[in-house]
Structure 1
């Protein structure tokens, strides 16, 4: 690796790779490379995240400093290890360089990208990096896309289901003392084969193979979601565990003819409240929320949520100690030009659009049509499988190729299956002991206290606006009453957004914070210092914040009281 002078007065590295020499950027017109980078980030907001692939000689950093503000983060991913070693990891307080290692990059992306900033992420591959380090570039793009989809999915789910999340949470509290925590069953089925049943188009074919080997099924641990319970029961196949995580009433409709099954039903705080209430079998509780907010629940365990109920089913099988984990109906694609198996299609599906969007690699090496959502599920599943290499995963579906889960014919898998340990049924142990009314009172108190704080913040903003004093927050004395007012406003906001108790608000909090960032706090990086030091401007934007906060909390309170009336009185 050697540094060369460019024709326009900069410096560029030449590296040797695969027995060939490459310049990391244009040696003739280096200024153009820097200009393209600056043009990419010219409209950044004060809290934008800037990801840059490649640092080269770092000639662009000085000019980049002039367009960012202290709140911006710049992360430079450098694929050349020896080059990244020449820099301190923290170039400046808000500019850092990291060596390209997939797991490290994945972790950094997950830590820095969330539902609040998905529209404020900027990416640029500097110079010739994307072609010289093409493999690393594609890997970075894949992980960036996956992280963005995860974050945007949180917003999408919040917008669609926030009211159901609140209602289901309040209603399901009533059932908790009748449930067994999921972690009670850890390692109860060590090395017992698990069959994870999904509703993809090839499930109908898989069921025919299951019927041929019913003698083997009694020794396998069968886990299914609500959608496919009927498909199994109608063919004389009894599941060992049903997992229901969807909040919608359609989940109840899928199960309405099977409410008297004696198979345990696993659910979490936001699972459909009517199904949880009316199902007659034993119930298993998966804690994703209350383990963070209720001290008595801190020992409870959740499961992996990758967007589909199949991810949770697979994680439960892993938690039980099952191996191999056999996937059926897990097409993750429109096999046979269908969105679901005929046996797993319900009236609810008529209301949804299942139009193919992209092609992915199929089990036979050819291409098969799928949706962006299903591809996302596939990526999340592959990430999970990569993490648990000690477990054997077998894909017996006929759709998309799943990395880490080789495809095998189910007939052959079942024919050759051996059993080292007997299957253990999930025997109930209802050791959850909480006072339901106290938990509900706590939630209602949290909402009430937040409403009081919102009213206090709103009054402070109104007082500042009515006084109409033109002041700079940067120049005010510590004992200035307006500065004290503003500091308390910030305290209210910080406590509300970061309190564990705010998690009770579920999708309402996610939606609220996303909208406020998008609609209320849009400040360009170049105007950041000027705007944020303007007392009157700050009072006006936080006035909107507290008005929307009150509006949101009133709706949550109303839904909570409605649910209490329906389920508790």
Structure 2
């Protein structure tokens, strides 16, 4: 269905735009409202080195944003609505934006657009979402629209999350923990193999082979995978948590007295950190006095990847890192008990698609695709490290896929992995 688009002059003598009876900007004062919008979202861009904004409309809020961000801040503006952008471009409304060397514009839906979107998301903690641009998207952009609206809705709880993270930080720095630097000093794995255990659905299949590796590798586990490992009589060499919420304490309940290092983000669940009695090591994802910054990538598995890389691990092996849904499940079975969540994939719902390790197309979602891109970009930075994917989900660029038994044979025989 063709959209009905109207250009209307306003009381500020600048144009506004109406799409199917919905205004993208104020009918009367688009510039004034843009200032208010940007002022109300100062917490997103203030003091940041990178800024991502979705939705350009006629550019009024983008111009206000550029007046307020730091002079060295890079601003990435995305909008799939090429039709609206072209109208604004014909009206010469974007000249100042295009001339600003801090700005990168990404307009029009394509694979490259999505790749860049995932790439830039990795640089920021929060993004500026201009909801009116989402509301007027054409029908063929419905899936992208839903994904953006979901992100926008989730932002309503971010202020309370920031408060929770601050409370966790204040509690965690009082704990009798050591630094991540000390963890590296006590646990030498330079040029040694490390297996990163995530809680994807294929972990239930592969975990039975992990016991063969004990003594041959270091096993670094996401807290969400700990129950699956212990249920299979496998004790990891390190556990990692980054999530701030109280329920994360369930990941270590019952295993509080393990003599296994717990590496945790400074804002991670204070309840989990408090109850754990084993050795504890705190790390930060921003510059700190100890000068070792762990790039968390916004998930525990990606944080573990950076910990392994910074410790010089080689090769690095993934299991349970599916980045897709398998057997109608989102996670390994034990995940549902730990987090009190249904891990069944809802039916009658459209999903993104990703190529699996066996060439098939698998269902996934925008969040998992973001993590996939993050991992692939991180891998590309370290061509001298061998990355092996022993998960059964999505193909991960830069890794060699093989069954876990084959990886064990290579490691056991000290064969060169390529």
User: How many angstroms does 1:319 deviate by?
Assistant: 1.2
Q: 1:20 matched to which residue of 2?
A: none
Q: Where in structure 2 are the equivalents of 1:390-409 lying within 5 Å?
A: 390-409=384-403
| Alpha-carbon distance in 2 for matches of 1:112, 1:316 | 18
Q: Is the 8 A contact 2:180 2:263 kept in 1?
A: no
Taking structure 2 as the reference length, the TM-score comes to 0.66
Please state how far the C-alpha of 1:373 moved relative to its aligned partner. 1.6
Task: Tell me the equivalent position of 2:323.
Answer: 332
Q: Deviations over 1:60-93 (max 9, x none)?
A: 999543x3485xx22xxxxxxxxxxxxxxx5x78
1:192 to 2:188 alignment: no
Displacement of 1:284? 0.8
Aligned-pair distance for 1:350?
Answer: 2.5
The alpha-carbon distance between structure 1 residues 416 and 266, as it changes in their structure 2 partners (threshold 3 A), is same
Q: Which residue of 2 aligns with 1:222?
A: 219
Q: For the Cα contact (< 8 Å) 1:50–1:122, is it kept in 2?
A: no
Cα distance in 2 for residues equivalent to 1:414 and 1:308: 27
For residue 299 of structure 1, what is the aligned residue in structure 2?
Answer: 290
Higher normalized contact order (CA 8 Å, seq sep 6+, divided by chain length): 1
Alpha-carbon distance change, 108 to 380 in structure 1, aligned in 2, over 3 angstroms? closer
Q: Where do 1:4-19 residues align within 5 Å?
A: none
- On the 8 A contact 1:182/1:285 being kept in 2, the answer is no
Tell me whether 1:250 sits opposite 2:247 in the alignment. Answer: yes
Partner SS state of residue 260, structure 1: coil
Alpha-carbon offset, residue 198 of structure 1: 0.8
For 1:404-419, what aligned pairs fall within 5 Å after superposition?
404-418=398-412
Structure 1 or 2: more helix by fraction:
1
Structure-2 change in CA distance of 1:379 and 1:96 (3 Å): closer
| Partner Cα separation in structure 2 for residue 244 and residue 168 of structure 1 | 13
Extract unaligned runs of 5+ from structure 1.
Answer: 1-38, 54-58, 75-89, 124-143, 292-296, 422-569
CA distance in 1, matches of 2:333, 2:124: 39
Q: Give, in whole Å, the separation in 1 of the partners of 2:153 and 2:411.
A: 38
Contact 2:181 2:290 in 1 (8 A): no
TM score, norm. by length of structure 1: 0.49
* Aligned-partner Cα distance in 2 for 1:228–1:270: 20
Task: Identify the match of residue 346 of structure 1 among 337, 351, 368.
Answer: 337
Determine if the alignment matches structure 1 residue 286 to structure 2 residue 283. yes
Distance 1:324 1:114 in 2: 30
Q: Which runs of 5+ in 2 are unaligned?
A: 1-23, 25-54, 64-75, 81-85, 107-111, 135-143
**What is residue 128 of structure 2 aligned with on the other side?**
117
Return the alpha-carbon distance in structure 2 between the equivalents of residues 366 and 304 of structure 1. 31
Q: CA deviation at 1:112?
A: 10
Over residues 289-330 of structure 1, what are the superposed CA-to-partner deviations in whole Å (9 max), with x where a residue is unaligned? 5x4xxxxx4233221222221001111111111111111111
Secondary structure of the corresponding residue to residue 322 of structure 1: coil
Q: Does 1:269 align with 2:266?
A: yes
Aligned equivalent of 2:171: 171
Cα RMSD (Å): 4.3
The offset of 1:107, in angstroms, is 12
CA offsets per residue over residues 25-59 of structure 1, 9 Å max, x none? xxxxxxxxxxxxxx996643232576699xxxxx9
- CA–CA separation in structure 2 for the residues paired with 1:364 and 1:238: 30
Instruction: Kindly name which structure, 1 or 2, has the bigger radius of gyration based on alpha carbons.
Output: 1
Cα distance between partner residues in 2 of 1:393 and 1:203: 18
Are 2:41 and 1:44 equivalent residues in the alignment?
no
| CA distance in structure 2 between the partners assigned to 1:205 and 1:312 by the alignment | 24
Per-residue Cα deviation, 1:425-479 (whole angstroms, up to 9, x for no partner): xxxxxxxxxxxxxxxxxxxxxxxxxxxxxxxxxxxxxxxxxxxxxxxxxxxxxxx
Deviation at 1:341, TM superposition (A): 1.6
Question: In 2, distance between residues paired with 1:285 and 1:112?
Answer: 22
Q: CA deviation at 1:97?
A: 9.4
Equivalent residues, number:
327
- What's the CA shift for 1:277? 1.4
Paired position in structure 2 for 1:240: 237
How far did residue 418 of structure 1 move?
4.2
The residue that corresponds to 1:389 in the other structure is 383
The structural deviation recorded for 1:367 is 0.9
- Contact 1:264–1:281 (8 Å) recurs in 2: yes
CA distance in 2, matches of 1:319, 1:95: 32
